[in-house]
Chain A
Amino acid sequence: MQVWTKLFAKSPFKPLIKHAEVVLETVEVLEKALKAWEMGDCETMRNYARKVDDLEDFADKIKQEIRDSLSSKLFMPVNRGDILRYLQMQDKIADAAENTAKWLLVRDPNDIPEDIKEEVKSLIMKMSQESIKAAKLVYEAIVQMDRVIESGFGEKEIEREYEIIKEIESVEHKIDELDTKFMEIIFKNSSRLEWGVGMYLLNIAKTLSNISDKAKDAAERIRLMMNK
């Protein structure tokens, strides 16, 4: 009698964790691309940027599979809609990373004025490191959500989850500050910059800060999953 195996449906949490893993990898590879960009190694940068694109595709596929399997026939401890919206946000983190990679592929960064070059590059690298932190925290948050359910919504585990969410929010805040500072530098020097270079740099920063924005949105969704 196979009823037991049918009665317990496959939990969406393992695939969600898998998806978060791929998203994290996407952001990590983007950082490698940015490192190559900082060094001026365009060849390596392009290779990594293309890999970011592949990983984003992979994340998309997992997302689609989870969506297909999450039919309304399931009875789950968290709201199905919350899970689907969370998944969408988690996937957008990879999308944001891909957008940065796209800008990297558009042109080579060889005409930034020498006097601001170092500062611009170090700010971008800081932002990318923080983005990885955000993606890692999102991964931790969904692993922790699994634990929250495992413990039958134990208070201790919920508390830990709130801590992770707060950390994500603080990382997002930090990146926002870096982004503002970056914009200030670009506009202060706008008269010396070719418009294309300015736009290129601003967009790299914008798309990078988008990664943590989406991470924050995902964290918000996890908060909703716990309040039922």
Chain B
Amino acid sequence: MIELLSDPWLLITIAVGFFMAWAIGANDAANSMSTAVGAGAITPRQAVLIAGVLEFTGAYLFGKSVTETVRKGIIDVSQINDPNVIVYGSVAALFAASLWLLFASKFGLPVSTTHSIVGGIVGYGIVYAGTSIVNWGRLAQVVASWILSPVFGAVVAFVVIKLISRTILQQKDPIESAKKWVPFWIGITFVIIGSMFYIKVMHEDSMLIAVTKYGIPIGTGAFLISFVLLRRNFKTDDPYLGAESIFKKVQVPISAYLALSHGANDVANAIGPVAAVYTVATMGLAGMEVPVPKWILAMGGLGIAVGVATYGYKVMETVGKKITELTNTRGFSINFSAASVVLIASALGLPISTTHTVVGAVIGVGLARGVKAINKEVVKDIVISWFVTVPVAAIVSGIIFKILMIAG
């Protein structure tokens, strides 16, 4: 490792990769935690702590296989004979993606980090070898997710908030109904968390095993525990506040889960290119089977955690102070929908962006007349920013790559 660090390009890639990880932490951590913070389930300080620790844990322990996909799944690296191309290209892709993320953060647009890095890699690939190098199937999946993620998010959130209001909020005695129905929702939540953990975090693909061995036992346990807890120590006079306070507690594990799986999935966006350069530095060529060393994963996780701590805190604080329109049931509906949509999509093999699903879910709750006011203009800006992410990252990356090739 010591002699590796004398390689200037590896050092540069690590620096840019760390910066990208920082940008992911600063930008995306707010996605998984902000509904919980906005609904008052956790304070900004707690959100930063939970997100920081879990993002790092997810990245370090479970980030490996996605990293492999980013390293060599988007373009066909075996077509690249010159190792320098991998090095310059990785730096260009990281730079382009980070710049775009910074720009999006500045204007408050929740763009997908995955899409940014995919765009960056596609950009340098096309500049180097033309369109044939691109894995178009994967790119088509990315494009499909622009439409699928928000639509699924919206549909599920719409149904969930309707069901919750029918079965709990609109009942004669919301507290009694909540005692009956909330354990059911908590149970389902943990079925999803358990199954998702198996599939997304441990990167297994048998949905049947995930649900039967992880989801259902964990969900049943959560159901029983919450059922007993609600019967025993739950006293309140206001029926709505009562129902809300129950959902408030469920929001904490579900957003913690989102942070963990986000760390596991998105660390690859920062260190996938770093891993590619590392492979070149150690083996000389890119297509080789070189395991991603743990210290690179740790570095990515650390970068995300630092991003959460330095910039994420400010974001969470603003969110905590400003969103007054988000009750715990709405926050729960949004998080629950995002988590279950990502799970079902994984099982069906559909590409889904968590960020986009969450935004879709917010709109779904609005369509169910659950939120008092949503800014249509902002929704429009967000959707536009999704469509430009891949092309912009690709073009910027292509330009940086060209410059590096000429200068290098």
Asked if A77 contacts B371 (CB within 8 A), the reply is yes
Asked if B325 contacts A153 (CB within 8 A), the reply is no
When A4-B319, A152-B170 are in contact, do A74 and B375 touch as well, CB less than 8 Å?
yes
When A7-B362, A152-B161, A152-B169 are in contact, do A1 and B108 touch as well, CB less than 8 Å?
yes
A74 to B376 Cα, complex, angstroms = 6
Interface locus among A8-16, A60-68, A121-129, A214-222: A8-16
Chain A residues, Cβ within 8 Å of B162 = 152
In chain A, positions 112-164 with a C-beta closer than 8 Å to chain B are 149-157
Contact for B375 among A8, A151, A152, A155, CB less than 8 A: A8
Asked if A4 contacts B170 (CB within 8 A), the reply is no
Q: How far is the CB of A218 from chain B (nearest CB, A)?
A: 19
A11 to B30 Cα, complex, angstroms = 22
Most buried by A among B319, B326, B375: B375
A75 to B164 Cα, complex, angstroms = 22
Asked if A154 contacts B170 (CB within 8 A), the reply is yes
When A151-B165, A152-B161, A154-B169 are in contact, do A3 and B369 touch as well, CB less than 8 Å?
no
Asked if B375 contacts A7 (CB within 8 A), the reply is yes
Chain A residues, Cβ within 8 Å of B169 = 151-152, 154
Chain B residues, Cβ within 8 Å of A74 = 373-376
A227 at the interface (CB under 8 A from B): no
Most buried by B among A1, A4, A152, A155: A1
Chain A 9-43 near chain B by CB (<8 Å), digits 1 or 0:
11111000000000000000000000000000000
On chain A, which size bracket covers the interface? Answer: 20 to 34
A152 to B30 Cα, complex, angstroms = 26
A73 at the interface (CB under 8 A from B): yes
Q: How far is the CB of A153 from chain B (nearest CB, A)?
A: 6
Asked if A1 contacts B30 (CB within 8 A), the reply is yes
B114 at the interface (CB under 8 A from A): no
A154 to B376 Cα, complex, angstroms = 25
Q: How far is the CB of B72 from chain A (nearest CB, A)?
A: 30
When A150-B240, A151-B240 are in contact, do A2 and B108 touch as well, CB less than 8 Å?
yes
A5 at the interface (CB under 8 A from B): yes
Asked if A73 contacts B27 (CB within 8 A), the reply is no
Q: How far is the CB of A9 from chain B (nearest CB, A)?
A: 4
Q: How far is the CB of B239 from chain A (nearest CB, A)?
A: 10
Asked if A75 contacts B375 (CB within 8 A), the reply is yes
Asked if A7 contacts B378 (CB within 8 A), the reply is yes
Q: How far is the CB of B31 from chain A (nearest CB, A)?
A: 8
When A3-B108, A11-B325, A154-B169 are in contact, do A77 and B375 touch as well, CB less than 8 Å?
no
Asked if A8 contacts B326 (CB within 8 A), the reply is yes
Contact for A152 among B108, B109, B370, B382, CB less than 8 A: B370
A153 to B240 Cα, complex, angstroms = 13
A135 to B339 Cα, complex, angstroms = 47
B110 at the interface (CB under 8 A from A): yes
Asked if B366 contacts A75 (CB within 8 A), the reply is yes
Q: How far is the CB of A132 from chain B (nearest CB, A)?
A: 28
Asked if B373 contacts A150 (CB within 8 A), the reply is no
Most buried by B among A13, A75, A76, A155: A75
Asked if A76 contacts B382 (CB within 8 A), the reply is no
Asked if B38 contacts A4 (CB within 8 A), the reply is yes
A188 at the interface (CB under 8 A from B): no
Chain A residues, Cβ within 8 Å of B322 = 4-5, 8
A74 to B379 Cα, complex, angstroms = 10
In chain B, positions 128-182 with a C-beta closer than 8 Å to chain A are 161-162, 164-165, 169-172
B318 at the interface (CB under 8 A from A): yes
Chain B residues, Cβ within 8 Å of A155 = 170
B368 at the interface (CB under 8 A from A): yes
Most buried by B among A5, A11, A152: A152
A16 to B157 Cα, complex, angstroms = 28
Asked if B110 contacts A11 (CB within 8 A), the reply is no
Chain A residues, Cβ within 8 Å of B232 = none
The 9 closest A-B pairs by CB, nearest first: A152-B165, A77-B369, A154-B170, A11-B372, A5-B322, A2-B108, A9-B373, A9-B375, A3-B108
By a beta-carbon cutoff of 8 Å, the part of chain B in contact with chain A is 26-27, 30-31, 34-35, 38, 104-105, 108-110, 161-162, 164-165, 169-172, 240, 315, 318-319, 322-327, 359, 362, 366, 368-379, 382
